[in-house]
Structure 1
């Protein structure tokens, strides 16, 4: 039974992942509802349903547009697989519970953030506002303990990041600040701290490796949103275990 549910959520994640790609690419350009059909970004030709099957269409077409033979970004199938794997993993971690709903909402948000930030270096306010409303509704039904914990987490995410932005004179962006505030609201202060620590650690190591290898220059900006997302996913799945390990090992 668990295998069937996990498999179903994997397929569901693939399908929704295709839609999340569209949202992440179109919302920053204010195009989400202007075009009714998906189209090739190179030749602008409308795509048929068989060209939009998650992952499979990319493989069958060898990563090229059927019309103009232009390259299709590998970001599309990678992110579709991301949502498929993450949806399935959420069920394996949380089971059939209300926590599963929270995890799926966050993974959906994270998918859109990764696509948007990697493509445009923008975390859209409209996306954050939409998911804030959903997460606010969720927390109204299933509050943290104590009930004010989401407010403390949200405030800490925004205020803490704002201080970093001021101190570093733009080392992080306003979108990062709002995203961390939303994560703090959804998960609480403790998991927010885990998220920020892991995001900073992974971001520093990755940026250092890219600089050392010459793949990016010192003046080339690197989006921080995907690192926040990665830190938040680890916190979502293993945050409390990491906190317990840290406290028992060092205190």
Structure 2
């Protein structure tokens, strides 16, 4: 039964993060208004907003104007519950401490904003940093936090200065916060794994001739996947 609860609540969280990511970067209100169709902007009924089920019941199309919904809807509604269930099934959240869960949700939000807008909102970056510093302050000395922050700031800023092409400033800010939260060495592990995944994905796209050379490729999704891989490595799963 616990798996059902986790799946349901994770789906709700994922759906909320998706709406948040679609509206916050554009400064659109979303908490106190009805959700609407992406095309005709008609208000949606409650049964049209049930995570996963609504997508399949409507056959991947809007009910009002019959236009095709973005596959991101169903991908994110399934992927987040699946990953959280996987974490629970493998190690009962014993390794997935509160700091890891905070990082996981923030990275997932940034993944969505990067996919939609190639943008990482500065206000959310600041909130992410504040929460991370507060959490670290509860368990570690302020001197250690400052050292980790300065080390991460120096190395990743230097990297951005010399290798700017292919990376956004938002990616670097996230890496600096990861270095502050987990330590520079661990953030570098995540960065290295992310780079490998990105290169593999781009290489495969080139082989399949699906790589648009003029289009920018969002890097935050690879950071998110790199972080997930890092969690499995640290937990001794792989």
TM-score by length of 1: 0.84
Structure 1 runs (4+) greater than 4 angstroms displaced: 96-99, 146-150
Pair 1:71 & 2:65 matched: no
Aligned pairs, number: 238
Q: How does 1:72-221 map to 2 (within 5 A)?
A: 72-95=69-92, 99-143=96-140, 148-221=143-216
> Equivalents in 2 of 1:46, 1:234: separation in Å?
39
Aligned to 1:232: 227
Aligned to 1:55: 52
Q: Shift of the alpha carbon at 1:55? A: 0.6
> Equivalents in 1 of 2:2, 2:31: separation in Å?
35
- Unaligned 5+ residue runs, structure 1? 246-251
Q: CA RMSD in A?
A: 2.5
Cα offsets for 1:17-52 (capped at 9, x unmatched): 000001111111111448612111111111111111
> Equivalents in 2 of 1:64, 1:93: separation in Å?
35
Deviates more, 1:165-174 or 1:218-227: 165-174
Q: Shift of the alpha carbon at 1:105? A: 1.5
TM-score by length of 2: 0.88
SS at match of 2:75: helix
